[in-house]
Amino acid sequence: MKEYNKFLLMFAGFLACFYLPVEILPFRNSLFGSLALVRWYAREHVLLCLVPAFFIAGAISVFVSQASVIKYFGAKANKFFAYSVASISGTILAVCSCTVLPLFSGIYKRGSGLGPATAFLYSGPAINILAIIMTARILGWQLGVARAVGAIIFSVVIGLLMHLIFIKEERARKAEGELFAGEMAEPRALWQNGLYFFTMVGFLIFANWARPVEGETGLWASIFAAKWYLAIGSLFVICIMLFKWFKRNEISEWAQSSWTFAKQIMPLLLMGVLVSGLLFGRPGQEGLIPSWIIAKAVGGNSLFSNLFASIVGAFMYFATLTEVPILQGLIGAGMGKGPALALLLAGPALSLPNMLVIRGIIGTKKTVVYVSLVVVMATISGILFGAIAK
């Protein structure tokens, strides 16, 4: 199938999800909730979250030299610097578990070591600064602090463990040339590339700036009021930089690379959201697994309750910030503080759609190990936190 036909097919699928007439469906069961979740995802996350992320990932693979990626994130890079940058990336990006995937794929395929890449993969959605602030304000400062500290530690530990577990594969990858960094002339100065990426991330952030709490004033509310001016301004600056600094063939390669990420990731994400909604439902709508079963299973601070919360959180899809009101309801229904933290540490960073795409990037074995590490560490953290914060 030609690329043009693939694009038309994918665009038609997106429009079908975007305009899915769920209101006229005669049933209101888990299938309805699943279809409604897919439509909501298509409307709220594809155009302003995923599409910019695809273009950023495409730019990484085209405009950032392999030598640069390997210098800072490769096998011989300074480990302290690599993991420090990767572990705090979420405070800058503020992306969800699906939006981070194109960025992860871009740096990994460009030559990043598995350890820093997976640290970035976890921290991107897990250390969302707004989500942590909301967690502290709504669920209590203890959970807010525990979530922030736990997520930063998680990203470093998971990255290091992934590196150590698959060190043979990483050495083979290096020997085969995937991690080879030859000397090459940079077409632009480092500050030009840096400003270009900073502006693209700025568009992603401002276009998705969340609405402040009703009645709230201050910097957050002011930025929200001007979000579209800032986003469109960022887009205008990007266009100027492309015209001034980049060659026509580079822009063409950028578009092709972005399309490659889109066709690899988008179908899996929409399919994963559909399955996740069918099983776990959405806020205010039951899935095949009733919420009362989940609430009953995560009471107290037992090994089972923390493990159950970690597993459910890992497979359920949480849009950015939605985990807070969901947890608020579960805590009101009797959920323990330990399982609450376990879900916060496993949920936003993982989801079934997320896992399907990760598998396509790094393979089944590495994906299983990565997911298992997140679930196990979230479980242990929940037990320890539950014992301390009684």
Cα-only R_g, the chain: 21
Task: State what percent of residues in the chain have pLDDT above 90.
Answer: 9
In a domain, 351, yes or no: yes
Of residues 265 and 246, more confidence is placed in: 246
Query: Higher pLDDT residue, 178 or 239?
Result: 239
Q: For residue range 122-174, what is the model confidence (pLDDT) as tens digits?
A: 887 777 665 676 677 667 788 888 888 888 888 889 988 998 899 888 777 76
* Total of domains in the chain: 1
Within 8 A by CB and 6+ apart from 127, the residues are 87, 88, 89, 90, 91, 148, 151, 152, 155
**Contact criterion met (CB below 8 Å) for 86 and 123:** yes
Assess whether pLDDT exceeds 50 at residue 182.
Answer: no
Q: Is the pLDDT of residue 388 over 80?
A: yes
CA 313 to chain centre: 14
Phi, psi of 241 (to 5 degrees): -65, -40
Q: Is 200 among the domain residues? A: no
Identify the pLDDT of residue 169. 83
> Would you say residue 386 has pLDDT above 80?
yes
Angle at 227 between CA 20 and CA 325, to 5 degrees: 60
Q: Is the pTM of this model over 0.75?
A: no
79-83, 146-150, 301-305, 368-372: least confidently modelled range? 79-83
- Quick check: is 9 in a domain? no
In a domain, 17, yes or no: no
How far CA 284 is from CA of 36, 41, 287, 321, in Å, comes to: 11, 16, 10, 15
Assess if residue 26 is contained within a domain.
Answer: no
| Domain span at 355 | 38-187+247-388
Reported as a pLDDT band with limits 50, 70 and 90, residue 370 is very high
Q: CA triplet 146, 149, 154: central angle to 5 degrees?
A: 110
Examine the pLDDT at 97 and tell me if it is beyond 80: no
CA dihedral over 38, 44, 45, 48, signed as positive or negative = positive
Q: In this structure, what token pair is assigned to residue 368? A: 């299983």
In percent, the amount of the chain with pLDDT more than 70 equals: 78
Does residue 210 belong to any structural domain of this protein? no
What are the C-alpha distances in Å from 239 to residues 47, 73, 234? 18, 29, 9
The answer for residues whose C-beta is within 8 angstroms of residue 229's C-beta and 6 or more apart is none
Per-residue pLDDT, 1: 59
